[in-house]
Structures are given as C-alpha cells and as structure tokens.
Structure 1
Amino acid sequence: MNDNPNIDVVSSNKPIIAIDIDEVLAHFIPKLADFHNENYGTSLTVEHFNCYEFHKVWGGSLEETSSKVMSFFDSPYISTVSGSYDALKLLKQDFSLHIVTSRQHIVEDLTRQWIYKNYPDIFDEIHFGNHYTKNGISRSKSDICKDINALLLVDDSLIYAKNCASSGIPVILFGHYPWNRPNDIDKLMFTHSNGKCLIHEVNTWDQVVGKVYQLINQNIINIDNSVTSESTDTFNSNQKSHNHIRIAAIQMCSTNNKEINFQSIERLISRAVAEGGAQFICLPECSIFMGEKSSDILEIAEDINPTIPDSYIYKFCKLANKYNVYISVGGFPERRSDVIDKVSNSHIIIDDKGEIIYPIYRKIHLFDNPLTGLQESKTTEPGDELVCINTSFGRLGLSICYDLRFPELYKKLCAPVTNNTDKIGGAEIVLVPSAFTVPTGSVHWELLLRTRAVENQVYIVAAAQSGKHNEKRVSYGHTMIIDPWGNILDEITHEGEGICYGTFHREYFNKIRDNMPVWSHRRHDLY
C-alpha cells in the first residue's frame, strides 16, 4: 500500500516566478553568432546583437531570418547558462517555475524537448509569446505574467523588462549584454510610482536567488499573496513572517583562533543575506573555537553576558542586529562559576534586534566515545534542561550534535502542545549544530537526521563543521536542511566552508501532520 499522502505544497499553490529562456537558461546569441558565421561566412560577435530583430543584425528579409533561426534551433549549438540548474532547484523549493518566452509556436516542440532534457522536473508550465512572426497570435510577456499571476519575471531583455515594470510586474534583468544596458532615461523606469524599484540587475544565477529573497524581504513582492501590492506589509525586512522563514545553515572549518573564526562567520552571514536572502542563520557547533586539546576550551570560555564589550557574545548580538537576522550560535563555550575546570556547551538563540532569547540550552548528552578517543565530559558539564523557544516565525527545539542519537529527546521537543506557553514541545524547526567525526558521520549522519525529521514531522537544520581543524581533529561536514517528509532541501557535499538554504513553510508543516497523524495514533496506554 502506498502511504504517500501527496501533501507537498503543490506547484499550483506556490507563488509563480516567470523565467525567460534565451540568455537566461540557454546561451542563445553567442551560439547563434557561431552558427551564422560557420554557415554563412560572417564574422558576427555578441556585440553585433543590439536587438532581437535578427534581420537588422545580419541583413535579409524577415522570412529569410526565420528560416535561419529554425535551422539553428534544430542544431546542437545551444547550451545551458552556468549555475542555472542548481539555482532553479533552490527556487523550486518555494516557487512554481514557469517559462515565459518570446519564442514562436513553430519551435514549440524543439523548445520543450530541450527544456525537458536540460531542466528535468524544474518547470511546471511553458508559455510561448510567439513574437517576431506573422503567423498566429502574439502575446506580450506582461500579459502572460498577469494571466498566470507571476510574482516577477527573470529576463535578459530591457524592452520586456520595461514593459512588465510599466504594468507593475517586478523584473530581474539578467546578464550584461549589448541589448540590455540601460541608459539614464531607462533608469527612470526602475522605480515605480509607489517608490519601489521594479527592475533589478544581476549577472549570475546565484545573484538571481539572492535577489528573489531580497525582494520578498523588502516587500517588493509578497510570497503569501503571490501579487505585488502597495499595501502589503506581511513579510518585510523588519518583520519575519508567521508562515515562513528563509534559513541558511553555515558550514565551517573552525580553528583555535577566535577572531579569525568570527571574521569567517561575519563573511558567511553577509553572503547568506546577500546571495540567499537568509533571515535565520544557523552556525555549527564550535563555530567560535575548535581547540587542539580539550583543555584549551577552559581558557577561552566566556560568560553569556551581551553587555560586556568586546566579548564574543556581545559581537554575535551586534552581528544579528547589523544584518537584521536571527542567529543560532550552537556549541558556544560558556564559563561556569559553579563547577571548577568545566564549561557548558551552550546553544544560544539571538533575535534580529540583537537580543538573546532565553532560556539557553546546555548540551545534555556528552560525547565520550572509545571509537574516536574523544571524552567531552573531561571539560564539559552536562545540562539538565530541555529547551524550546518561541520566535516571531515559529517554535524552535534546541539540541547539539551527539544529542541526535537520543530519539526520546526529540520526541519531547516536537510533541504537539495545546499552546506555545507550554515549556517543552511544539517545535516546528529543530536545530542540530554539530561537529560529527568522520568515522561516525560517514555512516550515521544523514540517516539519523532524516529519521528525526520523519519520525517527529519537523524541519531539521543541521549546520556542521567540516574538514581538518588541526592534527588531531577532522569533521565530517555535510551540512543539510531537511523537511518534515524527510526530503533534503539542500546539502553541502564538499569539504570546508559553505552555505545551504531552505525555507520553513507552516502550511507544509501542518499538512504533513494533518495527513499523517502519527501523534494522535500513539498508544500512550502501551508505551
């Protein structure tokens, strides 16, 4: 029996992003120039193409040009734009992706074949404008975008960008091409009458992803209503949505130099905000310090007091405020006043105003492991309290690394509660900042994370240390974000620094639990 309840946030319910093909998904003009040069003895370069009316570029009639372009479409010249597929996979998490192209109906079959081959399972619809032809009806891109209620258009054409902007549709203007370089007059159209910029220039697909989430944060587009609205104020840079939050999990290779580690943290946070539109940053365990010997941590531990200038807790709070993000500081070495020669391995949540959200979680399961020779209890005092925290965007359950092996903890954190005033339970997102060793991580890391996500029906954010910290310590890495159905939304597969992204959706979270109601089926009378 298939128990898949078909509970994805289906594409028809996701907000729509419209995406052009040529010079956005496909290298069209450079390859067309090569094709024309080889077959017609010309010496065309991209610089010759200052418009898409090709008969004005190489001469001849519109009919002759149409015949040439048809031959080109049937050739193997066209290739994909770098970074497009990976970026689209990220956007696919949150959006329904539609192609809106000016291509003619006559090349529809060839276009669909190319898209299905190069972008499998990415696009939900393909819409043809049928431009530059006398055969059939043509439709403007702005009309198509309005008909499908697109949030925005990603296009390389300045003409189409201005046309859409004049209709109130935001545009991400892709690439730096001869035909899309705006002059001063063009730039006047970049700002709508309501004061919001509607045309945004980018050069790479990484920048496209970041710009999409920036436009959401700036309230230029609204992910809840799937429309651009002057009055909408439900998701902006000053208020995190109650329905979704953009999460970045950061992977590091920390050392015993706290200042260098902190500089790396700020650089990665800045990148996560700029490139990924992140609003909640999750750091790995030991992000601020990874010592060469266990006793090193006793010398650098700090009180968790954000009022002490130049302390790293103070700096983390300033960082959260500066970038207007929540930060999970997992595995911070907290000085203990009640225990001699011991610290707490503490997990701290800082809000986007730079304020610590209490209580602080102190790791309860310490990694004393004969397999690796590590003995955390030599320098660390175990905590004695479970912690769930309410935020403006959802309820967090806190854990650290080795805690992952104890399912009872996660059941407590994630069990449904009648209201969020309950101290424990009701977590929608569980954080697992970690520094897994290679021998254990290579076998159990992904298995345990996905199991905790599925059995508790929660989002799991697992920011990890990765690579060689010193002669004695190497971490497994593989930072990932997992949804309540066990899908890996994003993962870092390379060693060393990196960022992966995912978006928490309350609607999706609720559908998982409504359609697979395991919590109400538990036999508390038996176990």
Structure 2
Amino acid sequence: MTFKAAAIQMCSGVDPQRNAETVARLVREAAAQGAIYVQTPEMTGALQRDRAALRAILRDEANDIIARQAAELAAELRVHVHVGSTPIALADGKIANRGLLFGPDGGKICHYDKIHMFDVDLDNGESWRESAAYQPGSVAHVADLDLGKLGFTICYDVRFPELFRQQAVAGAEIMSVPAAFTRQTGEAHWEILLRARAIENGVFVIAAAQGGVHEDGRETFGHSMIIDPWGRVLASAGPTGEAVVLADIDVAAVHAVRAKIPNLKNARSFALDEVAATGKGGVAA
C-alpha cells in the first residue's frame, strides 16, 4: 500500500493551549495535502525547562489537551494522528514522555513511553538529566496498521540500534523518530543516525522534529525528514520554524530492499571473548 505521510515541524513553547492551536493548524494543512498519517515532534505540548513550572501545567492522559485534540482531529479528518510525544503526569509524581497514536475513528491505538533517558553533559555546557523528572518506559511497540507495521521510538532512542532492530525483526516496516534534538548534537549526528537506522533495518523512518529557539531558552536542530529503506532522504525541512514535510510511503519498497540485502535473516548469534594481551606483540593463547 502507498500512502502519503507527513512530519510536522514545530517550535513548541511553554503554553499547551498555544501549542495545541499550532498542532491543529498544521495537521489540517497536512491532511489538506493528502497525508493520512501525520506525526508531530517530541514534547509537542510543552517544552519547559523549569520542572516546577512544567508540573504545574501537566495533566494525566485523560485530561491532556494535546491527547484530546489529536483524537478529535483524527476523527474529523479521517487520518492517523501520531503525537510524537507530549509530557503526561503520572500518579507517582513523575512524568511520562509519551507518544500517542490515534486512528481515523479517533480511537487510541497505542501509546509509547520513551525508554532511553537523555542524561548527558555536552561540550558547550549544556547538561540534561531527563531521569530526574521522567519515568522511562519499558515496553516497545509495533502497531499493525492498514498502512503498514509501525514501530515507535522517541529522540535519544535513535542512539540505541537494538531497539530498532528488535522492532524490525518483529515486522516493523516504518519507524517513527519524533525528536527535540539539541542544535549541537543535531549538527553532528541527526541525519546520519536516522539514515543508518533506515539502512540497517530496511525501514522507512519518519522523524518530526522541534526546530528553533524556544521560550525556555533551549535551541533545537529542526530538519524534520522522511527517509526510505535504502537510506535516501525523501523530504526534509529547514533548521527552524514550522513546516509540513510530505512523502509517499510504499511499504513494498521495504520488502524489495530486504530481499536485496537480507541482513535481518542473515544475522547470527555469536560469543564475545575478551582477550588479554600478554606483552608487546603477543596475546594470550
């Protein structure tokens, strides 16, 4: 089946209501151009570095403005709306970095909580500790849709190829990578990581991103893109500002690429042996 997919690029602020208005406008724009799967970026509902201020605006999933709106838009436009992620309040006081997929009837198909926490110290002085506020997920998902089999990741997950591989082995034909990549890491690694994940698993990759300088002071890399199973960039946005990135997805291309290079089938288990050196020029027997 061939269908048109859209990756929406945003520059989310601290007010969920304003962000929701942006989502509605851009999802409608994507649907008007023929998209029947529309993905938004990581942290669609709010990018807020101040943890106390973030908690003050959070709601549980049942009362979250972005989740409710996505369900309504999906039903109204008869499309799949995938909230790449949005912060959701959990009962224990922690926060879920949660992706939500709604079908054309407005019903929720599944959710995915980001597994890998962005706990890093960058060269420019940026320091992030997602695990201080967010509860990591523990379950990966592959949704069997009429469009194809869709796997879920969020942002930092892209640096963990085993997550992609397990979903590909389970049948995923399309991988979602919504993100809010920092400008520094994005300049170095964003495109190459996305293309690598597409190539090594023979999947389409749809990556909706945040792009620009945000109200809370952070700067994200943008360059939302859609990549085919051969690693070709089918469509891409610029570094900043809003965009609707569109491309045709033909899942038959996944099986054609996997037939040419059947690395998923050819993978072998192996043992790993740590060899200790005995001296210059020699190794232990």
Alignment TM-score > 0.5, same fold: yes
Q: What is the root-mean-square deviation of aligned Cα atoms in Å?
A: 1.5
User: How many Å apart are 1:295 and its aligned residue?
Assistant: 3.2
2:227 counterpart of 1:482: yes
Q: C-alpha distance in 1, partners of 2:143/2:52?
A: 31
Aligned residue-pair number: 269
C-alpha distance after superposition, 1:97-121 (max 9, x if no partner): xxxxxxxxxxxxxxxxxxxxxxxxx
Q: Which has the higher contact order (CA 8 A, sep 6+)?
A: 2
User: How many Å apart are 1:300 and its aligned residue?
Assistant: 2.2
2:165 counterpart of 1:411: yes
Q: Matched residues, percent identical?
A: 36
> Which residue among 90, 96, 99 is the counterpart of 1:347?
99
The match for 2:152 is 398
The residue identity in structure 2 corresponding to 1:295 is A
C-alpha distance after superposition, 1:207-263 (max 9, x if no partner): xxxxxxxxxxxxxxxxxxxxxxxxxxxxxxxxxxxx122100000000011111111
User: How many Å apart are 1:526 and its aligned residue?
Assistant: 5.1
C-alpha distance after superposition, 1:123-158 (max 9, x if no partner): xxxxxxxxxxxxxxxxxxxxxxxxxxxxxxxxxxxx
User: How many Å apart are 1:493 and its aligned residue?
Assistant: 2.0
The residue identity in structure 2 corresponding to 1:298 is R
1:8-47 matches, cutoff 5 A: none
Whether the 8 Å contact between 2:212 and 2:239 is mirrored in structure 1 is no
SS in 1 for 2:51: coil
SS in 1 for 2:116: coil
Whether the 8 Å contact between 1:298 and 1:379 is mirrored in structure 2 is no
The match for 1:185 is none
C-alpha spacing 1:512/1:321, structure 2 compared with 1 (3 Å): same
2:69 counterpart of 1:318: no
C-alpha distance after superposition, 1:27-57 (max 9, x if no partner): xxxxxxxxxxxxxxxxxxxxxxxxxxxxxxx
C-alpha distance after superposition, 1:483-522 (max 9, x if no partner): 0000000000241100111121122111111111111211
Instruction: Structure 1 unaligned segments of length 5 or more: list them.
Output: 1-242, 416-424
Q: C-alpha distance in 2, partners of 1:380/1:297?
A: 12
1:71-470 matches, cutoff 5 A: 243-274=1-32, 276-305=33-62, 311-337=65-91, 339-340=92-93, 342-358=94-110, 360-371=111-122, 372-415=126-169, 425-470=170-215
Per the normalisation by structure 1, the TM-score is: 0.50
Deviating runs (4+, > 4 A) in structure 1? none
C-alpha spacing 1:322/1:374, structure 2 compared with 1 (3 Å): same
C-alpha distance after superposition, 1:308-333 (max 9, x if no partner): 5x843222211111111101112211
Q: C-alpha distance in 2, partners of 1:323/1:497?
A: 21
Q: C-alpha distance in 2, partners of 1:301/1:394?
A: 33
SS in 2 for 1:295: helix
Instruction: Structure 2 unaligned segments of length 5 or more: list them.
Output: 273-285
The residue identity in structure 1 corresponding to 2:236 is E
The match for 1:160 is none
Q: C-alpha distance in 2, partners of 1:348/1:263?
A: 18
SS in 2 for 1:484: coil
Whether the 8 Å contact between 1:295 and 1:379 is mirrored in structure 2 is no
User: How many Å apart are 1:458 and its aligned residue?
Assistant: 0.2
Q: Which is richer in strand?
A: 2
Structure with max Cα Rg: 1
